[in-house]
């Protein structure tokens, strides 16, 4: 699976300069289908600020091991307010079995992931 009805392959790919955006994504189909279902539920365009990340991505090289984005299980969705963030997170928990979630008001995004290590939430 390389794209969905409303998200092109490029939107799923790594967006960092280290790989010059040349690393093809390795997103899991469940992550892609679930993100598309959020888009369908909201019936409005969504912007993915981050999906797949290569191992050289600046946010990943700081970690002792790659995070959920490098595993293809995570997306960051741009939001402009807390109400939209809450709607996305509530739907993902209730209907899509999301396992990890966070909201950054300051940075304007919701992080969702479908990790296999159990429920997790945090704040930025």
Distance CA 120, CA 98 (A): 10
**Full pLDDT tens readout for the chain, 124 residues:** 899 999 999 999 999 989 988 888 999 999 999 999 999 999 999 999 999 999 999 999 898 888 999 999 999 999 999 999 999 999 999 999 999 999 999 999 999 999 999 999 998 8
Query: Could you identify the residue written with the tokens 């999301």?
Result: 98
- Provide the token pair at 55: 């191992």
Quick one: tokens of 121?
């939430």
**Residue holding tokens 């002792």?**
64
Instruction: Give me the residue spans of the domains in the chain.
Output: 28-123
Mapping DSSP to helix (H, G, I), strand (E, B) and coil, where does residue 76 land? strand
CATH architecture for segment(s) 28-123:
2-Layer Sandwich (3.30)
Tokens of 6: 């409303």
């Amino acid at each position: 699976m390389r794209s969905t009805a409303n998200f092109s392959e490029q939107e799923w790919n790594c967006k960092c300069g280290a790989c010059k955006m040349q690393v093809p994504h390795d997103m899991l189909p469940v992550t892609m289908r679930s993100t598309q279902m959020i888009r369908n539920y909201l019936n409005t365009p969504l912007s993915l600020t981050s999906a797949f990340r290569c191992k050289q991505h600046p946010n990943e090289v700081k970690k002792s091991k790659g995070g959920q984005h490098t595993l293809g299980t995570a997306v960051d969705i741009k939001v402009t307010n807390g109400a939209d963030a809450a709607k996305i997170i509530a739907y993902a928990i209730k209907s899509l079995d999301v396992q990890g979630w966070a909201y950054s008001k300051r940075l304007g995004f919701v992080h969702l992931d479908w990790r296999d290590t159990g429920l997790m939430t945090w704040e930025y």
